[in-house]
Structure 1
Amino acid sequence: MAFRLPLPSAALAIALLAAGCAMAQPQGGQPADATLLNLSETAERDVTPDTIRARLLAQVSSEQAAVAQNAVNAAMTKALAKARALGLEVETGGYSTYQETPPRPQNLPPGTKPPAAQWRAQQSLVVISKDDAKLLEAVGALQNDGLLLQELGYTVSREQQRSLQDELTAEALQRLEARAKKAAAALHLRFDGWARVGINGGVVPPQPMFKAMRAETMAAAAPPVAAAGEQTVSVNVSGEAILRRD
């Protein structure tokens, strides 16, 4: 984590005076000798995410919509049972059915029927776990059952994020107050509390480790492997510091 080094007092005073938008005259309810100073600070931490998540797709094509849908329904029923039996958290995604008309061949022999239109039915399945090995084993088994792996990656769970945000919030607030006191000293004023404070936090979203592949490629693929990289949890605080004359 990189920390900003404080500017020397004289340079800080010049910087603050030059940035007129960062300072404001007191508003209603503030003492007449008060000056409001806008500040912000960010605290960050790189962490190894504790959850692995995979999204798979059951997809079937047929000349009859009912046949395609029945096949997808059966595949999803089997996949849900298998994932739950392994103790994985599961959720189903969107379900769609649509018709695809193949292009007519340019040199189709006389009397030959063109390729028939195909109905395609598909539904996605998301599996989540904090046990990497268990989830990857399940994904491999579901691939062997004909499901396509669309996305595989790691994520920070809500519990992990909230725990870190509590620590980072305290850290960011301490740094914000320290900056306010240093700015007040550089301006020959004193820090006299806060007129307003705001807090925002979040996780920098990771890029998926694995994207969808063509069905014929996936059919011959080995079970997936994965390794967790770091993600950044951050908290940003901002506030209006009240500065007054000594």
Structure 2
Amino acid sequence: MKLQTLARTGLLSGLLLISGHSFAAEESSYDRISFAVSAEKEVENDVLTATLFASQTGQNTNELADTVNKDISWAMDIAQQENKIENRTLGYTTNPVYKNGRVDGWQVRQNIELKSKDSKVLSGMLGQLQQKLRVQSIAYSISTEVRQATEESLISEALASFKNRAAQVQANMERSEYRVVRLDIQTGGNFPQPMFRGARAEGMMMADAAPTAPNLNAGKQKVKVSVNAQIELSAN
């Protein structure tokens, strides 16, 4: 019985010794290096988004709402006739107007959003709709398909830079090989770029002649891909 116990104890001790030695050898065989590389490209903005609003201020909320509803319906009927423009209605609000700390009237307001890849068509539409609506903001962005295609190209470029950097580190450290421990790919860019933001209308909107259609210039913005990596170098 004692011999069996001693044998088991010796076997267990041997396994622990071998396991501990292997783990220590594995841990001490590599040096870890962290670094980052990136690739970026300027891309033409190809989507224009405009927000317009109808607003009325006065005492009778029913009359105000009726006028705003008619103006928005009029604008949407016109916008929906152009198949190159996406359109949708946005928030609808009724807010009190204060004077000397007291409610002096009401303001009813609703927004619509127009989006298009054809700046000339949308510019003409804005000029037409400003007969009854006002422009709140105009912004350019990159379409989903252009952004995805650009990112795919930049990912390949960034990964090639990663391989070159890893090989450079390996060669300069005079190691025979390396292995990848961690590789994170991050994309960025494509934030809408505001071109125009109109003042908030506080009074009654005037039914005067429509302003001249805005002159729109898309411009460019950067799309960037970053690679954060960690590699392990062999011991020799």
TM-score by length of 2: 0.80
Percentage of matched positions with identical amino acids = 27
Shift in alpha-carbon separation, 1:36–1:82, aligned structure 2, 3 A: same
Task: Please name the residue that 1:148 is paired with.
Answer: 134
Structure holding more strand per residue? 2
Structure 1 gaps of 5+ residues are 1-26, 105-114
Structure 2 gaps of 5+ residues are 1-22
Q: Distance in 2 between matches of 1:39 and 1:46?
A: 24
Aligned equivalent of 1:158, options 144, 162, 172? 144
Q: Deviations over 1:201-246 (max 9, x none)?
A: 0215253111113657996631111111111111111111121133
**What is the RMSD of the two structures over their aligned residues, measured on CA atoms?**
2.6
Q: Distance in 1 between matches of 2:26 and 2:90?
A: 54
**Which amino acid in the other structure matches residue 171 of structure 2?**
A
Q: Distance in 1 between matches of 2:25 and 2:117?
A: 51
Q: Is the 8 A contact 2:127 2:211 kept in 1?
A: no
Q: Does 1:207 align with 2:197?
A: no
Q: Is the 8 A contact 1:188 1:245 kept in 2?
A: no
Aligned equivalent of 2:32, options 15, 23, 36? 36
Q: Deviations over 1:94-128 (max 9, x none)?
A: 11101102349xxxxxxxxxx98221011111100
Q: Distance in 2 between matches of 1:86 and 1:72?
A: 22
Q: Is the 8 A contact 1:181 1:190 kept in 2?
A: no
Task: Please name the residue that 2:212 is paired with.
Answer: 222
Task: Please name the residue that 2:41 is paired with.
Answer: 45
TM-score by length of 1: 0.77
**Which amino acid in the other structure matches residue 116 of structure 2?**
S
Q: Distance in 1 between matches of 2:149 and 2:48?
A: 19
Corresponding residue SS for 1:100: strand
**Which amino acid in the other structure matches residue 118 of structure 2?**
D
Q: Which has the larger radius of gyration?
A: 2
1:31 Cα shift?
A: 5.8
